[in-house]
Amino acid sequence: MVGTDRAERPRAVGLLAGEGRLPEVLAEAVHRAGATLVCVQMAGSSALLESTADVFARMAPGEWERLFAVWKAHDVREVLLAGRFNRAALPAALAGGGEAARAFLAEHTDRRDQHFLQGFAAMLAGMGIAVIDQRTYARDLVPGPGRLAGPPLSSDEERDVALGLGVARKLAELEVGQTVILKGGVMLAVEAAEGTDAAILRGGAMAPGVVVVKVSRPRQDPRFDLPTIGPETVEAMADVGARALAVEAGRTIVLAGETLAAAAAWAGITVTAVEASPLPGVP
């Protein structure tokens, strides 16, 4: 049998997936682009990922040797990282994993998300594997500036958005969280490790008509942890009678945009993308 030259085969793209809808969306986008998708899920469970991927495996977070072996076996040279992991449990999971995970954990004592993930990306780069921009296969999911859904903001809400942007960007720079919930200039909740939806429910329970502001880090690495919103975000806001959601244009992934817009219109929630500086390139 005549072998197929490597250059003639579809490129293989790896996906290291956690929980949530974003890994599924990126998997479908890679599939549409004609690449071979080699997906390893280390948190959560997704039948859609399993059916979409050309190669699928489920592993524990510390099984790095097995992960690298799968990618090497399928000639993966570029990978996407997407999805939620239990940040509080991750160090213990890596400490209980294989030698590679334990060695990485011992070397990287700064456990803030971006520092930790940049270290992981650097390690992969040394193996000839590039972690790529999360937007590579999803440019159409990143909106420009403008109102995405709902009625115009009131002047009070505009003031809250402006205040919330300043506070949220400071917190994001410190890697505390990326979301604040406020009303009338009063900060009601700040996102931490619990995630955006939980912060919305906590802050929105304090007063009706709150404003939610979600941002990226000022020096956001576009390869991982880009702010992401979807219909679930709007549902959490509707549950507490929240009034508006502001995100950064060009720096936010919007999942299921039509469904999100319909849910926002039904709940009377405004969703807007505000002007922001462009994301830096991949380091």
pLDDT in tens, 188-236: 999 988 889 999 999 999 999 999 999 999 889 999 989 999 999 999 9
pLDDT (tens digit per residue) in 15-56: 999 999 999 999 999 999 999 999 999 999 999 999 999 999
Residues 149, 65: one domain? no
Domain boundary among 131, 162, 189: 131
Residues 150, 269: one domain? yes
pLDDT tier for residue 111 given thresholds of 50, 70 and 90:
confident
In this structure, is residue 67 part of a structural domain?
yes
Q: What count of Cα atoms within 13 Å lies in the side-chain half-sphere of residue 133?
A: 17
For 266, residues 6+ apart whose C-beta sits below 8 A from its C-beta are none
- Looking at the chain, how many residues does it have? 283
Q: What is the pLDDT of residue 86?
A: 85
> Which of 241, 253, 263 has its CA nearest to residue 149?
263
In this structure, is residue 281 part of a structural domain?
no
Global model pTM greater than 0.85: yes
Residues 192, 92: one domain? no
In this structure, is residue 279 part of a structural domain?
no
Taking the mean position of all CA atoms in its chain, how far away is CA 54?
23
Q: Which residues pair with 78 in a beta bridge?
A: 13, 130
pLDDT tier for residue 156 given thresholds of 50, 70 and 90:
very high
In this structure, is residue 247 part of a structural domain?
yes
DSSP string, the chain: -PPPPGGGSPPEEEEEE-BSSHHHHHHHHHHHTTPEEEEEE-SS--HHHHHH-SEEEE--TT-HHHHHHHHHHTT--EEEEESB--TTTHHHHHHTS-HHHHHHHHH----SHHHHHHHHHHHHHTTT-EE--TTTT-GGGS--SEEEESSPPPHHHHHHHHHHHHHHHHHHHTTS-SEEEEETTEEEEE--TT-HHHHHHHHHTTSSS-EEEE---TT--TTS---EE-HHHHHHHHHTT--EEEEETTS-EESSHHHHHHHHHHHT-EEEEE--PPPPPP-
Residues 184, 234: one domain? yes
In this structure, is residue 184 part of a structural domain?
yes
In this structure, is residue 178 part of a structural domain?
yes
Residues 159, 117: one domain? no
Domain boundary among 107, 131, 155: 131
Phi-psi region of 31 (alpha: psi -120 to 50; beta: other; left: phi over 0): alpha
Query: How far are the Cα atoms of 43, 62, 111, 192, 266 from residue 105, in angstroms, in the given order?
Result: 18, 10, 9, 22, 46
Distance CA 62, CA 80 (A): 18
In this structure, is residue 34 part of a structural domain?
yes
**Residue 212 near residue 264, CB atoms below 8 Å:** no
Find tokens 């296969």 and name the residue: 137
Domain boundary among 103, 131, 159: 131
Residues 103, 185: one domain? no
Structural domain including 70 reads: 6-131
Residues 199, 98: one domain? no
Taking residue 174's Cβ as centre, other Cβ atoms within 10 Å add up to 10
Q: What is the pLDDT of residue 8?
A: 60
Residues 164, 86: one domain? no
**Residue 227 near residue 266, CB atoms below 8 Å:** no
Q: Domains in the chain: how many in total?
A: 2
pLDDT tier for residue 153 given thresholds of 50, 70 and 90:
very high
Domain containing residue 11: CATH number: 3.40.50.20
pLDDT tier for residue 6 given thresholds of 50, 70 and 90:
very low
Residues 108, 169: one domain? no
In this predicted structure, which of 87-96, 176-185, 211-220, 253-262 has the lowest mean pLDDT?
Answer: 87-96
Residues 144, 264: one domain? yes
Residues 63, 145: one domain? no
Q: To the nearest whole percent, how much of the chain has pLDDT over 70?
A: 96
In this structure, is residue 283 part of a structural domain?
no
Domain containing residue 206: CATH number: 3.40.140.80
Residues 187, 209: one domain? yes
Q: What is the pLDDT of residue 175?
A: 86
